[in-house]
Chains A and B, each alone.
Chain A
Amino acid sequence: QKEVEQNSGPLSVPEGAIASLNCTYSDRVSQSFFWYRQYSGKSPELIMSIYSNGDKEDGRFTAQLNKASQYVSLLIRDSQPSDSATYLCAVLFQGAQKLVFGQGTRLTINP
């Protein structure tokens, strides 16, 4: 089992719809979770961090965390073509104190 696993993608969503990106992780005691967005040819940029179970909203983005299920997701409402990018899930593994990234999900928003 991979330490951090994301939908393999690519994911294609029509403009204005909700895009749902999922991530599972293997470390049961992880406490810090991050979503990064990476445009083609650019470096990753932080979108959101989440530390507690439940939902965290920031504009059109909502991160959802369920530690019991070892699952974290990112919802993008009212998807725009500018949201087309690769989304990386990252989990801070408590024991080793290292940040582990998933392979990323490529998202395309179709006008």
Chain B
Amino acid sequence: KAGVTQTPRYLIKTRGQQVTLSCSPISGHRSVSWYQQTPGQGLQFLFEYFSETQRNKGNFPGRFSGRQFSNSRSEMNVSTLELGDSALYLCASSPTVTDTQYFGPGTRLTVL
């Protein structure tokens, strides 16, 4: 089975712009979670989707949003980018919400 894929792998944006990141889960997985990881920080939970519904949301401002499509693919959007949004954004998928999560390679976002 193909693993979790994320596009793009690298992205450079400037402050004030917006960005959309994409995640394709492992085939058959219906749960997708997003995390932000900055240097020296652990994984910060952003949100989790299951069957197109947001189940959990982390403590991030409303500039961070996401959605999940009927084929389980997910996107996250960050509007009005700030320098502090520079991070590795990780997507993880699992068959259901209580199963093992498998991570994609991540999207490295740099905000200038």
Residues of A within 8 A of B (CB): 32, 34, 36, 42-46, 49, 88, 90, 92, 96-104
Interface residue B64 (Cβ < 8 Å from any Cβ of A): no
Residue B51 at the chain A interface, CB threshold 8 Å? no
Closest to A44 in B: B103
Q: A43-B105, A101-B43 are in contact. Are A34 and B56 (CB under 8 A)?
A: no
A32 to B94 Cα, complex, angstroms: 14
Q: A98 near B48 (CB under 8 angstroms)?
A: yes
A102 and B41 CA atoms in complex are apart in Å by 10
Give chain B nearest CB distance to A70 CB in angstroms: 19
Asked if B97 lies at the interface with its beta carbon under 8 angstroms from chain A, I say yes
- The number of residue pairs between A and B whose CB atoms lie closer than 8 Å in the complex comes to 45
Partner of A44 from B45, B55, B56, B90 at Cβ < 8 Å: B90
| Interface check B98, CB cutoff 8 A | yes
Closest Cβ–Cβ distance, residue A14 to chain B (whole Å) = 25
**Closest chain B residue to A104 by CB distance?**
B42
Q: How far is the CB of B101 from chain A (nearest CB, A)?
A: 6
Report which of A42, A49, A98 forms a contact with B56, defined as CB distance below 8 A. Answer: A98
Give A46 to B55 CA distance when docked, in angstroms: 23
Find chain A residues with CB under 8 A from B35 CB.
Answer: 101
| Contact status B43-A43, CB under 8 Å | no
Q: Say yes or no: B33 contacts A99, CB within 8 Å.
A: yes
A32 to B106, CA, bound (A): 24
Question: CB-CB < 8 A to B42: which residues of A?
Answer: 88, 101-104
B101 lies within 8 A of A99 (CB): yes
A55–B108 alpha-carbon span in the complex (Å): 37
